[in-house]
Amino acid sequence: MFDRSGLPAAVTVYEVGPRDGLQNESVILPTLVKANLIRHLVGAGLNAIEITSLVRPDKVPALADAEELLAELAPLLGKHRMSALVPNQRGLDRALKAGVREVAVFASATESFAKANLNNTVAGSLEIFRPVIKQAREAGLRVRGYISMCFGDPWEGKVSTNQVADVAETLFEAGITELSLGDTIGVATPGEVMDLLDTFDDRSISRSLLAVHFHDTYGQALSNTLTALLEGITTIDSAISGLGGCPFAKSATGNLATEDLVWQLHGLGITTGIDLQALVETSRWLSDKTGLPLRSKTAIALANQKDETR
């Protein structure tokens, strides 16, 4: 019999679809559609949502309306955990002006991805983040850190766990409050997830401060998630309908679908506070609005089941 004693009683599902998902899709949504998507997600019980990125509009056209979106969602910003990605001081200034209460910074574990995505070195990008994190914390904001390419890089291959932990230590020293470990191209396996977490233990970085962010390129996202849960991780990133991908790794599929994650968590008896049916309806609504196909296996199965009973 499967031993559930190591599983957490409750998990935070950290929704990244509105930012990480939409920025990598070909369809650019109107601001009001994005705002309604986020309202639907909140209505389904999601209380941790990354809603946009405050980068230069020409760099990420899909999120060029960040200020307009934040203004539209202003009544929700203080009531729910809603964050915005900031790449630099200018991004932080815009976030503070908009009333954001949590920001995120995005680092890389590898030099190749740092150059491709950040146009900098790993060390150089971390130095840019240091004053941003400091000012954000002084302003009372939570700061989430991301590390991309934690398990594999399309140019460099397998990534050493110590390489990832070195970047993590620098981010925590700078003052981040949570760190999300990204399997950006979806190559991780359960054994590698355990190895990375063991390395973090060796560096005395508490698992309570960590989140995991899996892509499903090799069909391992849910297996990796279960491993992380058994290893003490209680915050899991996912995207509604499996939105997203990686523009620098063409083989990478979208993020772990939130519907599939919630189906698994509820099946394990883990509390999420999320209404799965409302979440699936949101996924179908989004598909209708965007023309993008349903990618969540759970959403597809439940939709087919509903059609069969008509």
Task: Give me the active site residues, please.
Answer: 246
In 48-98, at which residue ranges do the beta strands (DSSP E only) sit?
A: 48-53, 81-85
> What kind and span of H or E run contains 52?
strand 48-53
Kind of pairing, strands 142-148 and 152-153? unpaired
Kind of pairing, strands 235-238 and 12-15? parallel
Distance CA(307)–CA(310), nearest Å, equals 5
Distance CA(259)–CA(267), nearest Å, equals 12
Contact status, residue 287 vs residue 294, Cβ threshold 8 Å: yes
CA gyration radius for the chain? Answer: 18
In eight-state DSSP terms, residue 20 is I
Distance CA(126)–CA(170), nearest Å, equals 8
Nearby residues of 63 by Cβ (< 8 Å), 6 or more positions away:
19, 22, 23, 52, 53, 55, 57
Q: From residue 256, give the alpha-carbon distance in Å to each of 58, 100, 179, 241, 273.
A: 27, 26, 18, 8, 18
Amino acid at 307: D
Ramachandran class of 233: left when φ > 0, alpha when ψ lies in -120 to 50, beta otherwise: beta
Distance CA(86)–CA(104), nearest Å, equals 6
Distance CA(52)–CA(234), nearest Å, equals 23
